[in-house]
Amino acid sequence: MNCQEVMEYMQRELDGDLGEIESAKLREHIRHCADCTEMYERLKRLSTELENLPKVTPPFSLVDAILPKLEEIDRAASAANRDAGPAGPGAGAAGIPDQDESAPSTPRRRVSRFNLRVLGGVVAAGIVAGVFLVTYDRDATSDLLSGHYAAESASSDSSSSASSSGSSEPVLMFGAVNQMGEVTDQYGSSPDPSAGAGDAADSSASAPEVRPTSGSDLKTPHEKAVGGGTDPEAKAGSAPGSDSGAHAGSDGRSASDGAEDADRMTLPAVRPGESVGIVAESEEPAEKLEGDGQLGITAFPEEPAASSVESVSPDGSYIAVFADSRVIIYDRNGNTRFEGEEREGAIAAFGWTDDGAFFRYEIRRGDGTGEIYRIDPAAGTETREP
């Protein structure tokens, strides 16, 4: 057992993750190794200090502070229920204008126009994101993983902004919380058409997923999405109608209850019969968003160099991670498919073969020597290339 392995044991011991035999091995090593003894002491001290961090509490009740806002949301939701009937709490939680309360049937035309605006805005955002992702130099990324997740996150974000809770969602996500009220009043609409818009954006933004780009550029599509959400009119003009139709139509879930509106918008392939399950339709992506958004963040904040140790295969089946001097390949479920030997040196270049069958990487040491390895994750083997 070398000191590097002991390090992991020490770490796991701190988390109570070691079995008895492993603990014994750890103690045995530490008895004979002054360096590890010192390291272990320091880690234990650190862990204790972390455990003793102040358990801070908010200076006043946060729930009390947001109660007015929650009531506002409730008012909007109940208006939604009256207006749209089947809309559930999740779908109707926001985005319903108060003025609809008084006259649920008259603003038909206005709502329809609004749909088009929102749809256009979101689609425009999706297209901008798509174009951006496609045109961005994929070689510069050296990071397929973050790109893949970035694209996913971009698509899920833009879909969620419309689909989960109407037009106030982008503001919740990108703007200040206290803007929510006004925006709800200003841009609110019944939730169903926006669900359609969300799907449209989803399919348009997911197209470039095959051409991943660097995660650090993810912000751009996000910002565009904000623009699309808060200023739909401006964006709508730049969104080709045929595109939005195609995207919406390509997705079976699209515009479920918005069939009536969809007709006016000449969206093809919208099935008017599909008016069931708005709640499910709008809630499911919302839940999914939490997950995908999270994945997207994986790629977000790291320095480019930091994320360059992970790479996802072209078809998304595998993720190769270079960490602790070895390559580990996980499948999409997070199961380890291959765990390489420790290599001395730094990873100098790496990538998946185009068919995704092999992961190749080059190790370089300080003295200029190095070699190239090829991993076959399906077979779980690694070979050194001549």
Question: What residues numbered 328-367 form the site for other proteins, per CB under 8 A?
Answer: 328, 330, 334, 336, 344-347, 366
CA distances from residue 162 to 35, 166, 175, 216, 285 in whole angstroms, order as listed: 56, 5, 15, 24, 10
Count the neighbouring beta carbons within 10 Å of the beta carbon of residue 96: 32
Whether the Cβ atoms of residue 285 and residue 220 lie closer than 8 Å to each other:
no
Contact status: 234 vs other proteins (CB under 8 A): no
Q: Nearer Cβ to other proteins, position 43 or 269? A: 43
CA triplet 265, 269, 272: central angle to 5 degrees?
A: 75
Site residues (CB under 8 A) for other proteins, limited to 269-288 = 279, 283-284, 286-287
- Compute and round to an integer the Cα radius of gyration of the chain: 26
Q: Nearer Cβ to other proteins, position 79 or 319? A: 319
Contact status: 65 vs other proteins (CB under 8 A): yes
Site residues (CB under 8 A) for other proteins, limited to 2-21 = 7-8, 11-12, 14-15, 17
**What contacts 330, CB < 8 A, 6 or more positions away?**
318, 319, 321, 336, 337
**What is the biggest distance separating any 2 CA atoms in the chain, rounded to whole angstroms?**
83
Site residues (CB under 8 A) for other proteins, limited to 85-124 = 88-90, 93-94
Q: Encoding tokens for residue 216?
A: 């650090």
Q: According to CB under 8 A, which one of 140, 210, 276, 306 is a site residue for other proteins?
A: 306
Contact status: 173 vs other proteins (CB under 8 A): yes
Q: According to CB under 8 A, which one of 23, 99, 242, 294 is a site residue for other proteins?
A: 294
Site residues (CB under 8 A) for other proteins, limited to 28-57 = 39, 42-43, 45-47, 49-51, 53, 55-57
Q: Encoding tokens for residue 189?
A: 């609409």
Tell which residue, 214, 118, 186, 185, has the closest CA to residue 158: 118
Contact status: 68 vs other proteins (CB under 8 A): no
Token pair 């339709």 is at which residue? 281
Q: According to CB under 8 A, which one of 32, 61, 384, 386 is a site residue for other proteins?
A: 61
Contact status: 305 vs other proteins (CB under 8 A): yes
Contact status: 378 vs other proteins (CB under 8 A): no
Contact status: 379 vs other proteins (CB under 8 A): no
**What distance in Å separates the CA atoms of residue 258 and residue 325, rounded to the nearest whole number?**
54
Q: Nearer Cβ to other proteins, position 89 or 351? A: 89
Q: Residue 97: left (phi > 0), alpha (psi -120 to 50), or beta?
A: beta
Contact status: 81 vs other proteins (CB under 8 A): no
Piece of the chain touching other proteins by CB under 8 A; list 100-108, 113-121, 259-267, 323-331: 323-331
**What contacts 107, CB < 8 A, 6 or more positions away?**
99, 100
**What distance in Å separates the CA atoms of residue 225 and residue 128, rounded to the nearest whole number?**
9
Backbone φ and ψ of 371, nearest 5°: -155, 170
Site residues (CB under 8 A) for other proteins, limited to 137-166 = 164-165
Count residues binding other proteins (CB under 8 A). Answer: 80
Rounded (to 5) percent helix, strand, coil in the chain: 60, 10, 30
For the chain, the first-to-last Cα distance in angstroms comes to: 31
CB of 4 to other proteins, least distance (A): 9
Q: According to CB under 8 A, which one of 5, 28, 35, 74 is a site residue for other proteins?
A: 74
Contact status: 300 vs other proteins (CB under 8 A): yes
Q: According to CB under 8 A, which one of 86, 104, 277, 293 is a site residue for other proteins?
A: 293
